[in-house]
Amino acid sequence: MKKILLTGANGFVGLHLAKELSNNDIRVIGIGGSQGVEAVPKWFYDYQVLDLTDKDETLKINFEDIDGVIHLAGKAAVGPSFDDPMGYINTNIGIEVNLFEAALSQNVFPKFLIISSGSLYDPAAGSPLSEESIVLPSSPYVVSKLGQEQMAQYYTTRGFECIIARPFNHIGPGQGLGFIVPDLASQIVSGSEVKVGNLEAERDYTDVRDIVRAYKLLLEKGTSGEIYNICSGRSLSGHDLLDRMTSLVEHKPTIVSDPSKMRPSDNPIIFGSHKKLTDATGWEPTIDIEITLQDVLNDWKNK
Residue 303 has a CB neighbour count (10 Å cut-off) of: 8
Provide the 3-class DSSP secondary structure of residue 258.
coil
Provide the 3-class DSSP secondary structure of residue 226.
coil
Residues 283, 284, 286, 289, CA torsion sign: positive
Residues 50, 161, 41, 43, CA torsion sign: negative
On whether both 277 and 266 belong to a single domain, the answer is no
- Looking at residue 29, what is its pLDDT? 97
On whether both 180 and 93 belong to a single domain, the answer is no
On whether both 133 and 198 belong to a single domain, the answer is no
On whether both 38 and 136 belong to a single domain, the answer is yes
- Looking at residue 36, what is its pLDDT? 62
CA–CA dist 59, 226 (Å, integer): 27
- Looking at residue 265, what is its pLDDT? 52
- Looking at residue 37, what is its pLDDT? 66
User: Total domain count for the chain?
Assistant: 2
On whether both 186 and 294 belong to a single domain, the answer is yes
- Looking at residue 163, what is its pLDDT? 98
On whether both 162 and 193 belong to a single domain, the answer is no
On whether both 140 and 239 belong to a single domain, the answer is no
On whether both 24 and 73 belong to a single domain, the answer is yes
Longest dimension (CA), the chain: 60
- Looking at residue 263, what is its pLDDT? 60
Q: Which domain holds residue 55?
A: 3-170+206-234+273-281
- Looking at residue 140, what is its pLDDT? 96
On whether both 38 and 78 belong to a single domain, the answer is yes
What CATH code is carried by the domain that includes residue 118?
Answer: 3.40.50.720
On whether both 97 and 222 belong to a single domain, the answer is yes
On whether both 110 and 186 belong to a single domain, the answer is no
- Looking at residue 188, what is its pLDDT? 96
User: Mean pLDDT of successive 10-residue segments in the chain (303 residues)?
Assistant: 94 95 96 76 93 97 97 93 96 98 98 97 94 96 98 98 97 94 95 88 96 98 98 97 95 85 68 98 98 97 90
On whether both 91 and 183 belong to a single domain, the answer is no
CA–CA dist 271, 86 (Å, integer): 29
Residue 50 has a CB neighbour count (10 Å cut-off) of: 17
CA–CA dist 77, 220 (Å, integer): 28
What CATH code is carried by the domain that includes residue 196?
Answer: 3.90.25.10
Pairing mode, if any, of strands 111-115 and 46-49? Answer: unpaired
